Each structure stands twice: as C-alpha cells, then as structure tokens.
Amino acid sequence: MRYLTDPPRFLFFTGKGGVGKTSLACATAVHLAESGQRVLLVSTDPASNVGQVLGVTIGNTITPITAVPRLSALEIDPEAAADAYRERIVGPVRGLLPEKEIASITEQLSGSCTTEVASFNEFTDLLADPVLSAGYDHVLFDTAPTGHTIRLLQLPGSWTDFLESGKGDASCLGPLAGLDKQRATYAAAVAALQDPARTRLVLVTRAQASALAEVDRTFHELDQIGIHAAQLVVNGVLPKAAGDEPLAVAVRQRETDALAAMPEHVAVLPRDVIELKADNMMGLPALRTLLSDAPAPVAVMDLVPHVDLSGHSLGGLVDQIEVDGHGVVLCMGKGGVGKTTIATAVAVALAHRGHDVHLATTDPAAHLDETLRGTVERITVSRIDPAQATAEYRDRIMSTRGKTLDDAGRANLAEDLLSPCTEEVAVFQQFSRLVLGASRKFVVIDTAPTGHTLLLLDAAGSYHRDVARQMGGTMHFRTPLMVLQDPTQTKVVLVTLPEPTPVIEARVLQDDLERAGISPWAWVVNDSLAAAHPVSPFLQRRAAAELSQIAEVEALSARVAIVPLLADEPVGEARLADLTRDLRLLTT
C-alpha cells in the first residue's frame, strides 16, 4: 500500500460516511502494531464503531488492545464532548439569564460545528504536546477536522469579544467563545497538521461519483490552508470473485466510469485500490484481510438472505402520500444515498396518477437532468442554486452587519458565513416559498434544512416568530415552519443505505428533526443487495450483512420502503416509474 510507505507519526483518515474510514484506520493500526510499531488509534467519528470493529469496549480513555500488543485505542464520543463543551459555556450564565435565552444559546451551540470543534479540542493536545504522544510511534485519527474548523481556529482577534459585543451570530463562532487561552495549543496542533514530515492525510473513498466529489471538496478545502500531504485510497471495489451475473457486471462498469471521471485534483494523488471483501470488517481476523491482495475463500451460505419487498414497496408509500391530494414531500439524507432518485421517482409516480407536481432540488442541475432525462407531463421542475443563494446572503450580511466592523471583525464574520449552516439558511429563504405553495398540488423537494437550522432560525427571530408576534391571536397565519411541523401537510422521507454508517447518520438526522418538532414520516432503504436476490456466494454474503441494518430501520419507523440495487440505473421516466411499481419484476 502506497499510503503506508514511510508513514509519519500522524495519519488522518477522512471521507464521507460509509466509505470505510473506520475499517481502514483499524486495519492500518493493526498492521503497524503487528509490524513492531507502538500505535494509538483515536476516533472522533460521530458514527464510530471502532470498539465493535476491534471487538473490545473502548471509551474516552486510552485502552490497550490486549489481542494486539503495542496497540491502544481511544474513542472520543463527539456528542458527549459537545455536551460537556456546551455546559462549560452555558453553565456560568444558567440562573442569571431567562430560560428562553438559555434555550436560545443552547440551540445555537447544537450544530455540527460545535460537535467538530469540541471533538478537535479533545485530541488537540495529542498533536500539540509531544510528551503526550511520546509513547507511540504512530497516532492514527479516524476522521479529520474540516478546513472550515481549522480556519476558525486560525482567525485573528477574540471570538468572545466579537460575540459579546453583538457583532456576530453564534452559528459557528459560538463554539469558540472563551477559547482564546488555548490559542497557543491550537497553533501548535495546526502546525503539526501542516507539516508533511509529521502528518499524512488519507482520503478514503468509494468508486462512486458522490464519494469522489466529497473527497475532492475535502482535499481542496484542506489544501487551501496548507495541508498538502494527501494520498487517496479507493475502498470497496467489486472484485472478480463477485462473479459475472448482470448485477455484478453493471456495478463494475459504474465503478470504472466513476474512476475515469474523477476530479482532476484527486486523480493525480498517489492512489491505492482495495477490493471489497465478502464479509464485514468486524473482528481482528477480518481486519487482517483488508490490506491483503490475496482473495479470501468464500463459502456458500446455508441460508440465502432474502428480503420480501411485498410489504416494503416505494409504490406503497406513494399510495399513502396520494391520499391527501396535495402536500410537501421532503426527501432527506446524507450525500450519496440516492435522495434525488427517490424524490424524482415519487414525483413521476404522482404525475402518472394525474396530479400536478412541483419537483425542486438543491442538487446541481445536471444531476437532476441526468436522473429525469427529459420533461414529464404534469411535473414542473425548479432548482435552487445553493452557491448563488449563499453568495447573495453573504454579500447582504457583509454589507449590513459587517459594514461597521474593523478588519478583524470582518474576518471573523466572513469566516462564520462559510459555515454549512449559512448555506442552509440561505437556501431556506427560497425553499420556504415552495413549502407555502403546496396547498393545491404536490411539492417534492430533494434535500431540506436540518432541524438544527430550523431551530437556529427560530431562535434568532425567524420569519415564523416574527409573524407570530405581529399577528398575535387575532389572525390566522401559516409559516413554513408550521407547514413542516404539520404531518398532514408535510411528509419527511429519510433515505439511507443498508450499511451501519448511513443508518447511524440517518438516525441522528431523525433526532435532529424531532428537536424541531418534525417527525419523519417514512424511511427508504436504497440500493439493497438483499432485495436484489444475488446469485454468487460473494454477493450473497454481502447481502446477509444488510439484514441487521434493515431490521434496525424497521425498529425506527412504522413505514419502510426497500429499493433493490439494480443492474440498470433508474434514470429516465420509464425506469423511475418502475421503482414505484412491482420491484420484484426488476430483480428477476
């Protein structure tokens, strides 16, 4: 493996959820330790299962892995770190401020930026203090901080003064309030990250367009702040052992096409390719096979895994959506799970049943065009350009709120406006008009703001609160948030894959939405091998691993649709319509 050639002390593994970061980090840690190196493996992944993978219980203390001499692990719980972090900021003012103010501050500190800063704060000392890591030849991190977080830590001036003077909102800068005393430690940690003699960034991806695009974004973001020593690992490429059934041939071709079209910035990086294994990477025997080129024997399963689609069809969900005759359908989920496909399939099905449908997306226009491939009668398509909406929003804030700031203050405000929350807020302003237009037709939206963003808007004096205050109890009114909270007007559909990390991420999103008073209406498990009824022993073993994840989704929601992994991609009106008909015909 090229990424293991002369490895430096620190290795960071990063990539989108579900690409195999944790498996690769664990396998690398075991490999280095069994090669005679002293290794510490640290995880800050919100969906981390390092303990499960290694087969031991690991917590927020350094734990020796007895089965692998010279290997220890530390599993930082990002949510626990964020809770403790919030309490350090909110605790001193609890009892001094009204409860509404406390609730507002707490919500402003409930976003992903808080979690990331809190997690980074937990392992900063390992990077900055050579004494703490002196007992190890290598420290491996499962999940790296984003370039946005590192830029925040490098900002000039005082975050606390900036916020206390009322010059900025606490969306991203809020998590940094009161941390000025740690500037020297942060500076040393960032210096370690930028030093290729000490740090290597391992970009983990799958041979999929969405995963490669995410890796490109991450590399570009980190490259801009001086972290250049990166190598690419393409994980989970379908091997010859998967056989030559039509499904396997189609998947191989999609992977080949994705790698051929990968972004040029990552295409030139040193690259390793790791084949998909028949079994999940759980336990030391499995981990030791991940970095091996030797194909492992695949035994024929006694019981072939099978998922009955009759009670889990996407068409069944459309039947229930159609009952009201109008309303909002929000398809939500992490990138790469197939939200656009599911949203478009629902829109096509409703249109074919005689309903007027407005299909809206925040994905790039080409993505939707490639999925729909032409116009469909009764469907109106609109696209919200997140980049344009965000640029206009940032310009407006900088020209108003930033007008009277000094250079340091403007730098703080400008960086705060680079937060992912800013894009959601900007998009929501256009998105809200679509939501209010669903009283006489169906509005199907691909991607929507998270519960945290909705609460952040509400806590900051959003449209909902402004209208409620102006109208009082004298007039009837309806705001976008009220529409989203009303299950008779809005149906939220969470889309995921039958894999541990995507399911964990979708469950976190569900909790996030419920904090905002929005209960997901249904889940869709997309690209299921178990529902595709594969023939080869290799694919059957992969399918069997999905069953526990599907069972977990069924325990989380009363409505679950399962869409099989198909040999022919569901693009174009006819194939999209098939997704909501009898899917059993597509898998035979």
What amino acid positions are annotated as catalytic residues? 18, 20-23, 45, 501
Q: In a 10 Å sphere around its CB, with 0-12 CB exposed, 13-18 middle and 19+ buried, how is residue 556 labelled?
A: middle
**Residue 170 DSSP label:** S
Taking the C-alpha atoms of residue 341 and residue 219, their distance in angstroms, rounded to an integer, is 27
Coil, strand or helix at 265? helix
The dihedral region occupied by 338, where left means phi > 0, alpha psi between -120 and 50, and beta the remainder, is left
d(CA 469, CA 471): 6
Token pair belonging to 149:
């977080």
- The CA–CA distances, whole Å, from 492 to 237, 350, 355, 450, 456 equal 33, 16, 19, 11, 19
22-42 as b/e: b if 16+ CB within 10 A: bbbbbbbbbbbbeeeebbbbb
Q: Which one-letter DSSP state was computed for residue 241? A: G
Cα–Cα nearest to 479, from 491, 464, 494, 492? 464
Name the amino acid, one letter, at 224: Q
Going through 100-243 in order, the beta strands assigned E by DSSP cover: 138-142, 199-205, 230-237
Beta bridge partners of 35: none
Three-state DSSP class for 553? Answer: helix
Would you tell me the crossing angle of helices 500-515 and 537-556 to the nearest 10 degrees? Answer: 20
Q: Do the bridges between strand 63-64 and strand 71-75 make them parallel or antiparallel, or are there none, so unpaired?
A: antiparallel
Give CA angle at 145 (220, 448), nearest 5°: 80
In whole angstroms, what is the distance from residue 137 CA to residue 151 CA?
A: 28
Bridge-based pairing of strands 230-237 and 379-383 is unpaired
CA-nearest of 78, 45, 71 to 56 is: 71
Between the CA of residue 290 and those of 3, 28, 170, 286, 564, what are the distances in Å?
14, 9, 43, 7, 26
Q: Which amino acid is at 462?
A: S
Q: Are 153 and 225 in contact (CB under 8 A)?
A: no
Q: Is the dihedral of CA 231, 232, 236, 241 positive or negative?
A: negative
Q: How far apart are CA 73 and CA 51, in angstroms?
A: 9
- How many helices, marked H, and strands, marked E, lie in the chain? 24, 15
Residue with tokens 């009952």: 323
CA distance 110 to 402: 25
- Determine what percent of the chain falls in helix, strand and coil, rounding each to the nearest 5: 50, 15, 35
Query: What are the two backbone dihedrals, phi and then psi, of residue 42, each rounded to the nearest 5 degrees?
Result: -120, 130
